[in-house]
Structure 1
Amino acid sequence: MKRAVAVLALGLGLTVAGRPHAVAVELDELTAPAAAAAPAANPTSLWNWFGIPQGVNKARDARLNRRGNNPQRERVDPLKRIADPENLKSDNPAIKTAAEAKMEADLAPQKIKAIKFLATVCCCCSAYKAEVKNALLAALSDCTEEVRYQAAVALCECSGDPCTICNRCSCCDPDIMGKLAELADGKAPNGCYLESSPRVRAAARNALKGCEAVFRPTGQGPTQAPPPGPTETPERRATSSAPPRSDDIRANLVSFEEARKATPTYVASEADGPNTGFAEVGDDPATFPNGTIRSLGGDFGLASYQPPAKTDQPLEAETFRPEFIPEVPAIIPSVEELKARYANVSVMRSQEVSTQGGIADLGNALQESRSVQSVDVQRRSPVAMDPHIRGYKFGQIYAQADGVFWTPARLDLDTMLNKIDPAMIESVTVVSGPYGLRYGPGLAFIDVQRAPTPRYDTFQSDFDTRFTTRTNGGQVNAREIVTAGGPDYGLRASYGIRNGDDYLAGNGLRIPSSYLSQDIWTEFSYDLNPNQRLDVSFMRLDQGYTEYPCQFFNIDDLATYGFHTRVVDTDPSAPWAKLTVEAWYNSTRFDGNTTNKRLGHFPELQRVDFALFREATGLSPIGPFAKTVDGTTDGNLFSSGARAGVTFGDPEASHLNVGTDIRHLGQRINEHFTVDPANDVVEPLFPDGPSFHTNMPRSWSTDPGVYAEWSHPVTEAWKAIVGARVDFVWTKARFGDVNPDGILASEIDTPRDLEQYDTLYAFYYTNEWQLNEHWTLTGGFGHGQRPPTLVERYADGLFLSLAQSGYTRMVGDPFLKPERDWQIDVGATVRHDDWRAGVRYFHAWVLDYVTFVDDTVTGFADARLLRFFNTPRATLAGVELDWEYDLTARLTPFARMWYVEGWDRSIGEPLPSIPPMDSLFGIRLHDADRGSRWGVEFAARVVNTQHLLGTIRTGGLLDLTTIEERTPGFTVYNVRGYWNVRKNLNLIAGIDNLFDKAYQEHLDLRLLGPGALGGQPGFQDVTGQGPTRVWSPGFTPYAGINWVF
């Protein structure tokens, strides 16, 4: 009679009267292929309901081979799925065997789910103790590597605790330990491991050591004279390194069991469990010698107890929280988990964001990421940080979230990522080069993905409460997420609030940075049938008063709303493997002003007042003086578009992706300035009246495009992808909105000059070579083009803080050319059991790079008039290094370094807005299960002095001027940790800038002039340094909680 596993149904969550209900499942069902079932009728798809496939087929059948001369052109029946039950009836052995194997492989997720549950119950209940053992033993021989791995992990968890007296739940017995030894160290006659997977071998060693640590003989067996001949000394045996053999382990364990039962003191009890033959460590410490039974050279000997050694490869932690919420693993994820397929792609996952301490902006989260080394940011506000990727900046970076294209409404007050709370993301993919052409035209790409809505067997709902506070600036980040779903639908609703006040820099200066941002997101997904899904989402964000230090304006109000809908089709009767069609619309409006821009401890507009007074009188004022100008700004932007993408072939093997998309943008920005009527000293400087304005006229951009990508595994060790894209971009500005007294009006002759057409091309080719189980080489070459932004073409003297000096007026060029980027990437990664490392190098040649031409305002060095300009040749090049080493099972030192240089080759000078070399060194202490329960990290960030200062042409194009200040290097220390208290309760805490270092990032803004202002009383910051700088936050403790209920 076959033994049954009575607990597999528990793993599927079946309950009766509120209690788990055991359902007997045949043991063979865990590993045997599913029996052939009657073929189910194909579900009626949306396309079948409209009759599209039927009509196409009927027309084709009537036209092709009508006279019988072209039989090869007749339509053939579509290919069945490999695991189609009908294939089990085939007389062709290849088709039948493939169906059986595919069905077996498709059962792997269900097996893993059941095994994970068995790991929670172990062998505690005598009613199904033997069945659980047999089920796990059978899973150790499964054909799927993940199933074997999870079975070994489960047996490790079910080995018992050597520090307790009664190990009733242990599943260790001779058969289990013998099989584990075979997996861990068993080798074929040719010297190759019987188990090909290193992590399965490591997990099996862990489980075997756990069993050895728990079990040992309960007494002395019958004394036998030693056999004649030489004997091996205990010391010799204790140092033997020969791997244990599974047969020896089984034989010795059985002999121990027989010896134990032969002793007069042995009394069988239910506590021993069926067929264990062992007592647990600690039964009677005074009776037995101090030590454990260990396998030494094929025999069992007595050795002093040592805790289980670290695994050769860290074990992956199972999901520690409900499925719809990602787990929280180690602070420093393993390199191999974070590297995507090629060296120019990196991924930041939600579990890493969870440990960052409530960072309010996604751009800042990318900069703090340990897995993404290529991102730096320009700090504008705690909720608005502008990301840079390998020196690429706004306009060159294409950013999208769940397929929706996002772009800032006003570049210095809004960013491409600040609409998305970091707490909401599932992953962020950063493509550091022209390899993301499926998204759109760009030189680098950011793709944000939120978690999909869940599905449950029956209706289920969950609540997720997240709260983090940062004491420096009183910052609070809170979010409540409600998730619900059923068998064919899922929904999620979320409300978040981010609020903060001024923070203190390391030198004690209070930086004006208050903010208030609230948002709601609602998502609904419905399965039209098993193969088609409809997703709909809506978002609304309201950002209240927000301060932007060293910029002309603060935000008074910014509001965004957006819609997105998507249809996904995986109908097997369709000619494609997957079809996705989506559309979106989002809109942002804003209002800003110069309120609170004349703070005594943080002078900003006082510098304008000083410069205008000196311009009007030729004198430098003594003491405080009256304000001169106040200003307001307003504007809006809308982004709409659609995308359709199709995958042909097997997505896991050779396949083709083709698609088309279109984006349509509209944008305008206005600035209004008023001269203070009480200040008659500067009134002569404004002969046109006390009011004036600047703007960017209402402008539009339309960009339809098509792309194709082909992915092909050339060999088992060589994978290649090639792709191409073409875009047709149209931009236009409304002539009636052009300020007749503005600078833009002098740049054009007719209204047609405001309308431009660009055709853009892009292509790439990437490779991955798996040299051996440790080394992987990557390489790629790509060409990308991007159109000028609407601001770059149509800005008319806007006060946009784009350069390092905050006060810059920007003028566009309607005739600006698209940038053309040629980039190569090479990289290598090495992964050993206890250390991992990687190196990546890139070099990019950018033709018609968009930079600036300078017309400095005389007497006021910060008020630069910058024009967008195409420099013929520019280069970007850099390197990224990473390394980590498992010093012990609980201690991991690590190091990271990244560096990029940018040069304007036409003038032989550095490009602006390029960060200096950045590096990170630290050590992480965590639990032995790869930090799945707790972890603490101490890290030092070391940033070099930036000596390469951005230099541009002056108005005459012959002279050069440097528009950046040298930024000193710095070192800051951070400590952070987390504790997963329970499956639904996670705690985090840490301290940023542990030693309260005063420092400034090179990309952050600063106001340096006018030079004579430095000696004026009341207008110096508390450091007495004169210039007004955006210093980074000082000592910043934080703590947070995530509670799911």
Structure 2
Amino acid sequence: MTALSLPARALGCAPLSSHLTPGALACALLLTGPALAAGDAPTAPTAPVPTLRDVVVTAVHDHSPVQVVANPKQPRQPVPASDAADYLKTIPGFSAIRSGGSNSDPVFRGQFGSRLPLLTNGTQLLGACPGRMDAPSSYISPETFDALTVVKGPQTVIWGPGASAGVVRFDRERPDFTEPGVRFSASLQGGSADRNDQNVDLQAGNAQMYVRVTANQSHGQDYQDGNGRRVPSAWDKWNADVALGFTPDADTLLELSAGAGDGEARYGGRGMDGTQFQRDSWGLRFEKTHLTPWLTKLEAQLYRNRADHVMDNFSLRTFAPGGSMAMPMASNVRRDTSGARLAATLQWQPDWQLVTGLDAMHSPHEKRAGSPSQHYSAKPWQRDAKFEGLGAFAELSWQAQADTRWVGGLRLDRAKAWRYTTASTTTGMGAMPAMPTMPTTTGTDQRSRTALPSGFVRWEHTLAPQSALVYVGLGHVQRFPDYWELISPGNSAANAGNAFATLRPEKTTQLDLGAQWKGADWQLWTSAYVGVVRDYILFDYAAMKSAVRNVDARTAGFELGASQRLSTAWTAQGTLAYSWGRNSSDDRPLPQMPPLEARLGLDYAQGPWSAGGLWRLVAAQHRHANGQGNVVGRDLGASAGFGVLSLHAGYRINNHLKLAAGVDNLLDKNYAEHLNLAGNAGFGYPGGVRINEPGRTLWLRADMQF
């Protein structure tokens, strides 16, 4: 990726280099100078004065039954995230499989991949790499969105199929312009390992229309672990999105959106690096509310997201023969995901509400390969897979009494998959021999499942005097195997063919329960789950290959959180999360389960000043299943526990500008997460060795709103 990013071009500023240059700072000052000169002068009556939040987030608490809601624009510790997985780690129950400095893959309650769909503005963008080097989370820049919503467990049916672990939604809210106006917000961030990020959000409109532009760039060099050892982890990425909305009245919205992005990343735990993460997206959505007394909302949406990903073993590293790659090679993979959604909200009296509709998805996958002497761009695309889905859903809410609410839903999905076999095949993880001049299709296999039912029912009860809430929900999900499970295991034609023919849909039945208590100065919440999974999809690793099969499994776990206001300035908070799983078929632990984790925080906020600390404590993990895992990671044995201390402080200069600084891993602890990729000898890491996390990290951030 070139040093000049699209956001910098769009702003008309000097090019942004690989570190925070004087030109970049001058660009920031140019943007903020007029507003800073104005100080706290009253703004025009056409727009409210924005107020920056004072607190740097160290823990995210449950918002409502089975749901977490957060503001991804708000500063957080550890150092504000460069991808979706990095941000989600703030939420109890989430962890991540680290690939490098960026582009990790999120894990919730030990569940991963299509069990946990990630949606942006209600759409899906699926990565193309057979090993999920470009996981969907790698294309999401959290700070360019307004709201993050997590639904825990199989407790909704309206956001697509297969969501047995939960649903994650990143959304941009509709700008509200009752009078003509312009709004602008931005953030600048710098830190250790040459970390520098820039984010901008520009909105302009009136009562009839609006335009919104969001853009960001994020960069980091290789970091050093707690022992001072360099870890290959550099990245550079950018994203830019524009939305044009028409609002002829308060009840109508028609929005057209488009976006693009690109980047590159080094991976210490893989045999290849990502040299292109090209994304282009477009969408059209329509919303109409208050159509009739009983039809309160109608939604329609069309979208197309494309991921065009390139990986090679020579551009970002010195090539070294090893494993299945005896020569320099490159692989270009592409996946188009297009879809549609239609939903209606019906209301009967104030007590009954029904959301019902249809959604559909179409997603072909293509590939081509090359080498330094034979560039992949000169080769034709070769289709290897295609997936389609169609679903119908209905979710009903009933306020049975003033203190009791029932929620239930049913969903029925039809899924189809095609596998295209060709004259050229791959023979190992990452092995990509040269392709023929023209692709030669030798056969096409198809499998489908016409009826994949899912559903749930949940009881919610408010305890007097309206300060406590309890809930119990029972859900069932049948999930069709995804691309990574059906097509890509081991990149072996024999393994993939066997999986395609024999792998059964995964069937999860789970009981979710929890409670919330709130007082004037305190909050306590807990959520727990117990699940049974028939035909759980499990990966077995041997040498450089993997195979996939169905087993039966059991899962359980909990999340717990509390906060207490100690005085007008001080607040203490903490969270605790634990996940447990067992492979009933093999009578051994389920792999890739994160260990017990606690977060303890102490925050101070008084006037323009704020400060705080975060102590993250992770227990040793002795429950493991060596050689088993998922398409990205496998268990490498027991892992040691660790504790990491981080501090931050901030100062709000005025209603428009706030500065924050922090130090993560203050004591320079050398540690590694339990969920991890195996090391790669091409970067000096022997196989089976966990990659260490960053050592002491300093960061400085400025947030602006006008």
TM-score range, shorter chain: 0.7 to 0.9
> Which of the residues 678, 693, 700 maps onto 1:1032?
693
Residue 788 of structure 1: aligned partner: 481
Residue 330 of structure 1: aligned partner: 55
2: distance between equivalents of 1:652 and 1:333?
38
1: distance between equivalents of 2:97 and 2:428?
29
Residue 124 (structure 2) pairs with residue 405 (structure 1)? yes
Residue 526 of structure 1: aligned partner: 246
2: distance between equivalents of 1:1028 and 1:904?
24
1: distance between equivalents of 2:676 and 2:195?
21
Matches within 5 A, 1:914-933: 914-927=593-606, 933=608
Residue 826 of structure 1: aligned partner: 513
Cα deviations by residue, 1:189-216 (Å, 9 ceiling, x for unpaired): xxxxxxxxxxxxxxxxxxxxxxxxxxxx
Sort the Cα spacing of 1:942 and 1:587 in 2 relative to 1 into closer, same or farther, 3 A.
same
Cα deviations by residue, 1:98-127 (Å, 9 ceiling, x for unpaired): xxxxxxxxxxxxxxxxxxxxxx99xxxxxx
What amino acid is the match of 1:723?
Answer: G
Residue 149 (structure 2) pairs with residue 456 (structure 1)? no
2: distance between equivalents of 1:729 and 1:652?
36
Q: 1:768 Cα deviation (Å)?
A: 1.4
2: distance between equivalents of 1:506 and 1:424?
31
Residue 511 of structure 1: aligned partner: 231
- Cα contact 1:492–1:522 (8 A) shared by 2: yes
**Structure with higher helix content:** 1
- Cα contact 2:121–2:172 (8 A) shared by 1: no
Matches within 5 A, 1:380-391: 380-391=99-110
Residue 970 of structure 1: aligned partner: 642
1: distance between equivalents of 2:308 and 2:474?
39
Residue 471 (structure 2) pairs with residue 778 (structure 1)? yes
Residue 439 of structure 2: aligned partner: none
Residue 23 of structure 1: aligned partner: none
Residue 391 (structure 2) pairs with residue 705 (structure 1)? yes
- Structure 1 residue runs without a partner (length 5+): 1-119, 122-320, 613-626, 676-692, 744-749, 801-808, 858-862, 955-961, 1014-1018
- Cα contact 1:455–1:488 (8 A) shared by 2: no
1: distance between equivalents of 2:248 and 2:424?
50
User: Is the partner of 1:395 in helix, strand or coil?
Assistant: helix
Sort the Cα spacing of 1:769 and 1:329 in 2 relative to 1 into closer, same or farther, 3 A.
farther
- Cα contact 2:564–2:573 (8 A) shared by 1: yes
Q: How high is the sequence identity, in percent, across the aligned residues?
A: 21
Residue 688 (structure 2) pairs with residue 997 (structure 1)? no
What amino acid is the match of 1:944?
Answer: A
Matches within 5 A, 1:519-918: 519-543=239-263, 545-573=264-292, 575-595=294-314, 605=320, 608=323, 628-649=326-347, 653-670=351-368, 698-736=384-422, 739=425, 751=443, 753-773=445-465, 774-795=467-488, 797-798=490-491, 813-815=499-501, 816-854=503-541, 856-857=542-543, 863=544, 865-871=545-551, 873-918=552-597
- Cα contact 2:50–2:655 (8 A) shared by 1: no
Residue 425 of structure 1: aligned partner: 145
2: distance between equivalents of 1:357 and 1:710?
40
Cα deviations by residue, 1:535-578 (Å, 9 ceiling, x for unpaired): 111100011x3211110111122211000111101144475100
Q: 1:887 Cα deviation (Å)?
A: 1.8
- Cα contact 1:910–1:951 (8 A) shared by 2: no
Residue 439 of structure 1: aligned partner: 159
What amino acid is the match of 2:328?
Answer: D
Q: 1:1006 Cα deviation (Å)?
A: 3.0
Sort the Cα spacing of 1:886 and 1:947 in 2 relative to 1 into closer, same or farther, 3 A.
same
Residue 946 of structure 1: aligned partner: 621
Q: TM-score, normalised by structure 1?
A: 0.57
Cα deviations by residue, 1:807-833 (Å, 9 ceiling, x for unpaired): xx9886112111000000111222222
Residue 611 (structure 2) pairs with residue 936 (structure 1)? yes
What amino acid is the match of 1:404?
Answer: T
User: Is the partner of 2:117 in helix, strand or coil?
Assistant: strand
Per mean C-alpha deviation after superposition, the further-off stretch among 513-522 and 445-454 is: 445-454
Residue 468 of structure 1: aligned partner: 189
1: distance between equivalents of 2:204 and 2:123?
24
What amino acid is the match of 1:766?
Answer: R
Sort the Cα spacing of 1:571 and 1:430 in 2 relative to 1 into closer, same or farther, 3 A.
closer
- Cα contact 1:974–1:993 (8 A) shared by 2: yes
1: distance between equivalents of 2:198 and 2:704?
12
- Cα contact 1:591–1:634 (8 A) shared by 2: yes
Residue 109 (structure 2) pairs with residue 362 (structure 1)? no
Sort the Cα spacing of 1:696 and 1:717 in 2 relative to 1 into closer, same or farther, 3 A.
farther
Pairwise CA RMSD of aligned residues?
3.3
- Cα contact 1:560–1:589 (8 A) shared by 2: yes
- Cα contact 1:811–1:866 (8 A) shared by 2: no
Sort the Cα spacing of 1:704 and 1:839 in 2 relative to 1 into closer, same or farther, 3 A.
same
2: distance between equivalents of 1:651 and 1:915?
45
Residue 26 of structure 2: aligned partner: none
- Cα contact 1:810–1:866 (8 A) shared by 2: no
User: Is the partner of 1:982 in helix, strand or coil?
Assistant: coil
User: Is the partner of 1:1031 in helix, strand or coil?
Assistant: coil
Residue 682 of structure 1: aligned partner: none
Cα deviations by residue, 1:848-885 (Å, 9 ceiling, x for unpaired): 0000234x34xxxxx3x1111111x1011101111222
Residue 985 of structure 1: aligned partner: 657
2: distance between equivalents of 1:324 and 1:913?
47
2: distance between equivalents of 1:323 and 1:421?
27
Q: 1:671 Cα deviation (Å)?
A: 5.5
Sort the Cα spacing of 1:334 and 1:546 in 2 relative to 1 into closer, same or farther, 3 A.
closer
2: distance between equivalents of 1:848 and 1:381?
32
Residue 201 (structure 2) pairs with residue 481 (structure 1)? yes
Q: TM-score, normalised by structure 2?
A: 0.83
Sort the Cα spacing of 1:323 and 1:606 in 2 relative to 1 into closer, same or farther, 3 A.
farther
Q: 1:1008 Cα deviation (Å)?
A: 8.3
Sort the Cα spacing of 1:740 and 1:399 in 2 relative to 1 into closer, same or farther, 3 A.
closer
- Cα contact 2:188–2:196 (8 A) shared by 1: yes
Q: 1:515 Cα deviation (Å)?
A: 1.4
2: distance between equivalents of 1:455 and 1:780?
36
Cα deviations by residue, 1:958-981 (Å, 9 ceiling, x for unpaired): xxxx95222111100011233332
Q: Which has the larger radius of gyration?
A: 1
Q: 1:924 Cα deviation (Å)?
A: 1.4
User: Is the partner of 1:384 in helix, strand or coil?
Assistant: coil
**Structure with higher strand content:** 2
Cα deviations by residue, 1:123-144 (Å, 9 ceiling, x for unpaired): xxxxxxxxxxxxxxxxxxxxxx
Q: 1:454 Cα deviation (Å)?
A: 2.5
- Tell me the number of residue pairs that the alignment of Structure 1 and Structure 2 aligns: 637
2: distance between equivalents of 1:735 and 1:875?
36
Q: 1:462 Cα deviation (Å)?
A: 2.8
Residue 59 (structure 2) pairs with residue 340 (structure 1)? no
**Greater RCO structure (CA 8 Å; 6+ sep):** 2
2: distance between equivalents of 1:927 and 1:1034?
31
- Cα contact 1:811–1:867 (8 A) shared by 2: no
Residue 238 of structure 1: aligned partner: none
Residue 212 of structure 2: aligned partner: 492
Cα deviations by residue, 1:889-929 (Å, 9 ceiling, x for unpaired): 2122222110001110111111221111111112112228x
Cα deviations by residue, 1:278-316 (Å, 9 ceiling, x for unpaired): xxxxxxxxxxxxxxxxxxxxxxxxxxxxxxxxxxxxxxx
- Structure 2 residue runs without a partner (length 5+): 1-39, 374-378, 430-441
